[in-house]
Structure 1
Amino acid sequence: MSEALRPPDFAGAPVPPGTERPQWTFLTNHGHVLRAVAADPHARVTEIAARVCITPRSTLQILKDLEDGGYLHRRRDGRRTSYAIEPHQHFRHPAAASREIDGLIGLFQDPAPAARAEPPEGTRM
């Protein structure tokens, strides 16, 4: 596969040449699409697909599954579509059904930048 056509890895960085994708992951594509939507509710389907490393068609099906399951809602803004996550929905697997998906979303969110502490007056840095 040429470098120009090689999809990004799960973190968005290019995959080193000769590196194959793992056979399994901890999150399903549904989880990755949910994370991508939480990170950018206004992302286009093609942008979500690129971030998750799946086809736009698969992304559309997963978005439909998540909407049908009540995990997100779609809203049209002119020609654009945006999504709203329903964070208090519970996981579907019986072992995690008591937990809400906002825990998963929060786990992967980038921490807020720390406020810069100002040095005490009269000190130099």
Structure 2
Amino acid sequence: MLNMVGVPASHTGWTFITSHARVLAVIADNPNVRIRDIAARCRLTERAVARIISDLEQDGYLSRTREGRTNTYRVEPDKVLRHPAEAGLSVASLLSLLVRDEGERFGKPVTQ
């Protein structure tokens, strides 16, 4: 099996992070990323990534603008997570665990 640079090897069994969170983190890391690249990075099919993006858009966690053949995504950092166990936690809180320098992506200075 061909291993692309920056793409983790296959994994079996359970994981801590959902596919939705992985897709959101990849988009937060690169707002102009292609579905094909998200799929490779998250080890999902392009169809699954498109469905996840649709879910995230429908519930207001991200939006996209299309310019020609390119999508540019915008993650909504202040949107509150869905599960009652995470009541009060925002997307930015989640991404702080998954993405480096997330504050800069949302136009806010990173505090230490």
TM-score over 0.5 for the pair: yes
Amino acid at match of 2:20: H
| Structure ranking higher in helix proportion | 2
RMSD, matched Cα: 2.0
User: 1:71 and 2:61 equivalent?
Assistant: yes
Distance 1:50 1:29 in 2: 12
Question: Sequence identity, in percent?
Answer: 36
Gaps of 5+ in 1: 113-125
Higher relative contact order (CA 8 A, sep 6+): 2
SS at match of 2:66: strand
Gaps of 5+ in 2: 103-112
Show the counterpart of 1:41: 31
Structure 1 runs of 4+ with >4 Å offset: none
Q: Structure 1, residues 65-101: CA drift from partner, whole Å, max 9, x if none?
A: 0000100001001211110000001111101021101
TM-score, structure 1 length as denominator? 0.74
Distance 1:97 1:12 in 2: 32
Of 84, 87, 94, the residue aligned with 2:84 is 94
Q: How many residues align?
A: 102
Distance 1:81 1:111 in 2: 22
User: 1:52 and 2:42 equivalent?
Assistant: yes
In terms of Rg, which structure is larger?
1
Q: 1:22 to 1:7 in 2, by over 3 A?
A: farther
